[in-house]
Amino acid sequence: MAKSQATFMKKQLEKNKLKKREDKQQRKQERKEGSTGGDLESMMAYVNEFGEIVSEPPAKN
C-alpha cells in the first residue's frame, strides 16, 4: 500500500523550510563578507569654519 499524501506533503514542507533557512544563512554570510566594516571613524563627518561638511577633522592649532 502506498504512503499517504499527507506524509509526502510534510516531508516536502520540511525540505522547503530547510532550503529557505540555508539560503538565508548563505545571504547573511555574503553580506558579512562584503561589508566595508562600519567603524566609527569612517562614519564621522565634521563641519569646517565655512559650515561645509567634510570628512577630515579640523586641524588642531
Alpha carbons 25 and 49: distance in angstroms, whole number = 47
Flag whether the pTM goes above 0.85. Answer: no
**Mind listing the pLDDT tens digit for each residue in 9-52?**
999 999 999 999 999 999 999 998 887 777 777 788 999 889 99
